[in-house]
Amino acid sequence: MTAIAAAPIHETAPAPEPMAEPQHEAEVKPKDILIINYSGELEKVWATMILASTGAAMGVKTRVFVTFWGLPGFVRDEKRITGQNWMQRMLSLMQRPGISHRKLSKMNFLGMGPWMMGSLARKYNVASPRELLEAAQLMGVEFIPCQMTMDMFGLKPEDMIEGMGEPAGAATVIGLMGEGSAPLFI
Amino acid sequence: MSPLVEIDERVDARGLACPMPIVKTAQAMKMLASGQVLEVVATDAGAVKDFAAWSKSTGNELLEADSDGAVYRFVIRKK
């Protein structure tokens, strides 16, 4: 049986840890980030924008590939109906495009939920998805729309917000991952 | 506290929630030249860990990080 050394009784209390050591260690260069924004719900678009703006702020090359339900969030806020045929128009009618018109996945309650979330955010000084999008664009985050979804939803480049990148496809996403971008699927 | 460092620019991020203190800091940092010093004040408690991570990632040196309990203060020298 091995004896366990008893801790000395009269040990002085350890000095409190300083809250953050000034950084002198070798810098860690994080790899590029690729966020695939697939969902269009308010909370997921919010998460995308928080991570994208922070990525850019941290000096990390950050790209957001916008596809499927994510795409209507990148249509200009003032657009009401998009699409060329009745099905595409119906889709935009049922789900209002624009980053300021996102719905919550839970507790939407005909818009009461997003309204309450918005007023809580203002009360606690949380930047809105729109403000974060503007900050992200200012810091050079690249937003790449999915060409296939744009075609399927009948979205034209002029429907989209300013500063969107060239539309691309799945091969671009896989290519970037192959080059070492850390992927996030939101 | 370490000897006083001359501050070239200040960012007041008091009241702002994550990630805006970091975003505002990064934006202010762009305007500075290498070697210049930025002071940031924030009230977001998450900023303590976030500024350490940010400094590590960007290579900008975190010279000071202290707090009076309510306000956190960071002094950063641009790489």
In a domain, A104, yes or no: yes
In a domain, A3, yes or no: no
Two structure tokens written together for A97:
């495009």
In a domain, B3, yes or no: no
pTM assigned to the model: 0.83
Find the radius of gyration of the CA atoms of chain B: 11
In a domain, A156, yes or no: yes
Total domains in chain B come to: 1
Rounded to 10 deg, the angle between the A42-57 and A129-138 helix axes is: 30
Taking alpha carbons only, the member of B68, B49, B72, B52 closest to residue B60 is B52
DSSP assigned state of A100: G
Nearest CA of chain B to the CA of A136: how many Å?
A: 9
Q: How far apart are CA B75 and CA B79, in angstroms?
A: 13
In a domain, B65, yes or no: yes
Residues A115-161: tens digit of each pLDDT: 999 999 999 999 999 999 999 999 999 999 999 999 999 999 999 99
- Domain with B29, as residue range(s), is 9-77
Indicate the residue of A22, A30, A139 with minimum beta-carbon distance to B27.
Answer: A139
In a domain, A1, yes or no: no
Residue A107: CATH number of its domain: 3.40.1260.10
In a domain, B1, yes or no: no
Q: State the distance between the two ends of chain B, measured CA to CA, in whole angstroms.
A: 22
In a domain, B2, yes or no: no
In a domain, A9, yes or no: no
Residues B1-58: tens digit of each pLDDT: 556 789 999 999 999 999 999 999 999 999 999 999 999 999 998 999 999 999 999 9
A56 φ/ψ sector (left φ>0, alpha ψ -120 to 50, else beta): alpha
In a domain, A94, yes or no: yes
Spot the catalytic one: B5, B7, B17, B18.
B18
A153, A87 Cβ separation under 8 angstroms: no
A185, A36 Cβ separation under 8 angstroms: yes
Q: State whether B54 and A57 contact (CB < 8 Å).
A: yes
Residue B19: CATH number of its domain: 3.30.110.40
Predicted ipTM of the assembly: 0.84
Residue found under tokens 């000096």 = A59
Total domains in chain A come to: 1
